[in-house]
Amino acid sequence: MVERLLEDVAQPIARLDQRLIEKHLRRLHVAGRGESVRRGVVVAIRSLGEWCLAHGLIARNPGAALAGPRAYRREIKVLTVAEVSRLLWGDSPGTLPQDLVEMRNRVLLGVSYVAGLRASEIGPLEAEGVVWHEVGQILSILVRRGKGSGQDVRLPLDRPVSRMLGMWLAVRPAGRFLWGRPLTRGAIRNIFLERCAEVGIAATGRRLSPH
């Protein structure tokens, strides 16, 4: 269970925090895994954390504050894989629009989706935080003072979104911020909802939010 968690969040146990664990638990819930499975993950990571803490391998137990799997509200429906594809690519997979604002918005949504970022985290990303990794042929981003840990966190992107971001880097306006300027949470939400409307993803009976 712990091995799958670490593989899912792509972090060693020394960098594991409550936010990453809860992110993994949410994914298990979305995948249809029962409460007993999620509770087992909590127990396993808490026990391993205690052992590592006792042997001086980590400074704190990342599972100490976990009370157990949350009772997630089932009425909140997530986007399907097909809907995410429509959101990012429309009817032309692998192709981005020429308009800079539209291109920025598509790339922003792709980065947010793959990295699992909050709207408040995606908006102020800085261009210098983007790093190319030859091993894996991917880009990563640096999230300043992530809400889960309060520390800077580097997050890898997958290859398709790395290609998207690479295209944006080649044409983006010069400056400190990745999107040309820092974007507010409200601006990110509007970008998300407007794009959903463009590709016909209805909001009826669903909560559509970047996070």
* Domain contains 40: yes
Number of domains in the chain: 2
Query: Averaged over 117-142, what is the pLDDT?
Result: 92
101 & 189 share domain: yes
2 & 39 share domain: yes
How far is residue 103's CA from residue 96's CA, in Å, rounded to a whole number? 6
* Domain contains 76: no
- The CATH number of whichever domain residue 163 belongs to comes to 1.10.443.10
* Domain contains 60: no
How far is residue 149's CA from residue 97's CA, in Å, rounded to a whole number? 36
pLDDT, tens digit, 9 for 90 and up, residues 165-203 = 999 999 999 999 999 999 999 999 899 989 988 998 875
Q: pTM here? A: 0.61
For 202, residues 6+ apart whose C-beta sits below 8 A from its C-beta are none
Size of the chain, expressed as the number of residues it contains: 211
pLDDT, tens digit, 9 for 90 and up, residues 91-112 = 888 889 999 999 999 999 999 9
Neighbours of 204 (CB within 10 A): 4
For 143, the domain range is: 81-199
| Residues pairing with 177 in the sheet | 126
φ, ψ of residue 143 in degrees (nearest 5)? -95, 120
Write the DSSP symbol of residue 173: P
* pLDDT given for residue 125 in this prediction: 94
* Domain contains 73: no
Three-state DSSP at 141 gives: strand
100 & 194 share domain: yes
